[in-house]
């Protein structure tokens, strides 16, 4: 528990404080003032977030995020999921500069998975104790809308127990353009066919200057990404928010991304509809991408600082996911003390990040050991952070 040692400072106080290091802390007085406000229950301002990025030591940010995380999640538990990423196609009309996964139409390595193959992958997932699938693909210009509806209906009918978390904002946005209809209409039709929740993919950095530079603006400008999530929430579907960082963006641009997520969440919560279940920051992997060697990618310290500030800034998002997949098990382990209350999925299959050079792997036993060794209690969850109903978890408080 974070116990306030001094009365929270007003924002005006923090603005006039000299920016000398705080004895014994190593950070600055502005950092101390911002963190005191968080301890007092206040929401971080944009400028305070910037101060944390620029002046907080990584341990200061981490300790504050850990305190917030322990208040939000009353016991020392860390959740994880067993699911599988199924990429139904790698054919894509876009050429995002950070992507090593896509293949242009007509490429010998391009594929569209037959439903039987998707079914086989789901059966393997069930056999391994999996409870959900994450279904995403490239933006394939030739697949008709009925392909998406039939894929969802096939999965719902054949594997009703497996949660269908599917289609990132760029896929939804493209379908709306192709069908000459609204994003809300596309989501409603997909929901009718079996869609249950929407992943936060395709967010990268939600600032259009960055999106343009990394060739991600056309596939979904920031406003379209936000619209997909707002409309999904309104239709009663929870979603997640992601951030891929370390693509040469500034700290201001990372905060702008946090701000988009916080504002979307505020609006959905105010309406009393569904909302973001989690924020999932992860770092750009450059191998085999057009951006390889062109930017300074984010290392472990930058990752942990960003995760911690995200936990502090996104006061309205319940869960924060640590990324062992891009950062490896060691940083994944530390992430649990930097604000993360969830380590995501063991990912029986993952192709997108693997294509860009990240080959970290983990089985369920490895996940359990990683969480326990860090001093936390592992709890298996479902795709929308619903708790596992197995005997092991029945007595724990609600997530």
**Which residues sit at the interface with ligand SF4, rule CB under 6 A?**
92, 94-96, 99, 101-102, 138-139, 170, 219
| Rounded Cα distance, 190 and 181, in Å | 13
Q: Among residues 54 and 95, whose Cβ is nearest to ligand SF4?
A: 95
CB of 99 to ligand SF4, least distance (A): 3
| Rounded Cα distance, 184 and 172, in Å | 9
Q: Among residues 30 and 165, whose Cβ is nearest to ligand SF4?
A: 165
Token couple for 94: 């876009």
25: left (phi over 0), alpha (psi -120 to 50) or beta: alpha
Q: Among residues 62 and 170, whose Cβ is nearest to ligand SF4?
A: 170
- DSSP line for 25-67: T-SBHHHHHHHHHHHTTPPPPHHHHHHHHHH--HHHHHHHHHH
- By three-state DSSP, how is residue 281 classified? strand
CB of 105 to ligand SF4, least distance (A): 12
Q: Among residues 147 and 159, whose Cβ is nearest to ligand SF4?
A: 147
- DSSP line for 193-262: HT--BB--TT-SSS-HHHHHHTT-TTT--HHHHHHHHHHHHHTT--EEEEEEE-SS--HHHHHHHHHHHH
Q: Among residues 92 and 310, whose Cβ is nearest to ligand SF4?
A: 92
CB of 116 to ligand SF4, least distance (A): 23
Q: Cα 42 from chain centroid?
A: 24
- Residues facing 283 on adjacent strands: 245
Q: Are 65 and 53 in contact (CB under 8 A)?
A: no
CB of 137 to ligand SF4, least distance (A): 7
Residues shown for the chain: 399
Q: Among residues 148 and 385, whose Cβ is nearest to ligand SF4?
A: 148
Q: Among residues 92 and 243, whose Cβ is nearest to ligand SF4?
A: 92
Q: Are 52 and 82 in contact (CB under 8 A)?
A: no
CB of 89 to ligand SF4, least distance (A): 9
CB of 176 to ligand SF4, least distance (A): 15
CB of 84 to ligand SF4, least distance (A): 18
Q: Among residues 138 and 281, whose Cβ is nearest to ligand SF4?
A: 138
CB of 63 to ligand SF4, least distance (A): 35
Q: Are 84 and 15 in contact (CB under 8 A)?
A: no
């Amino acid at each position: 528990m974070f116990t306030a040692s001094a009365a929270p400072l007003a924002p005006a106080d923090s603005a006039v404080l000299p920016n000398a290091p705080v004895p014994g802390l190593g950070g600055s007085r502005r950092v101390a003032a911002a963190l005191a406000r968080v301890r007092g229950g206040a929401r971080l301002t944009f400028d305070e977030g910037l101060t944390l990025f620029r002046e907080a030591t990584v341990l200061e940010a981490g300790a504050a995020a850990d305190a917030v995380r322990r208040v939000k999640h009353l016991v020392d538990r860390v959740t994880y999921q067993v699911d599988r990423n199924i990429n139904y196609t790698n054919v894509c009309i876009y050429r995002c500069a950070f992507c090593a996964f896509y293949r242009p139409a007509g490429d010998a390595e391009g594929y569209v998975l037959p439903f039987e193959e998707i079914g086989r992958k789901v059966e393997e997932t069930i056999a391994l104790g999996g409870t959900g699938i994450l279904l995403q693909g490239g933006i394939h210009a030739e697949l008709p809308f009925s392909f998406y509806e039939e894929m969802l209906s096939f999965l719902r009918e054949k594997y009703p127990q497996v949660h269908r978390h599917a289609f990132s904002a760029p896929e939804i946005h493209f379908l709306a353009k192709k069908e000459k209809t609204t994003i809300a209409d596309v989501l409603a039709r997909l929901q009718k066919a079996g869609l249950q929740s929407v992943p936060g993919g395709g967010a990268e950095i939600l600032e259009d200057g960055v999106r343009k530079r990394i060739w991600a603006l056309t596939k979904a400008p920031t406003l379209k990404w936000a619209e997909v999530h707002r409309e999904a929430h309104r239709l009663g579907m929870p979603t997640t928010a992601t951030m891929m960082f370390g693509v040469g963006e500034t700290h201001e641009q990372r905060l702008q991304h946090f701000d988009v997520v916080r504002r979307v969440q505020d609006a959905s919560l105010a309406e009393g509809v569904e909302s973001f279940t989690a924020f999932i920051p992860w770092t750009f992997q450059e191998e085999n991408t057009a951006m390889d060697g062109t930017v300074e990618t984010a290392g472990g310290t930058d990752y942990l600082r960003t995760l911690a500030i995200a936990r502090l800034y996104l006061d309205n998002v319940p869960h924060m996911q640590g990324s062992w997949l891009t950062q490896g098990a060691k940083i994944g382990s530390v992430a649990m003390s930097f604000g993360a209350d969830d380590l995501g999925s063991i990912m029986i299959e993952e192709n997108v990040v693997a294509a860009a050079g990240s080959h970290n792997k983990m089985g369920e036993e490895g996940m359990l050991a990683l969480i326990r060794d860090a001093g936390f209690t592992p709890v298996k969850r479902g795709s929308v952070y619903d708790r596992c109903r197995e005997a092991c978890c029945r007595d724990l408080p609600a997530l």
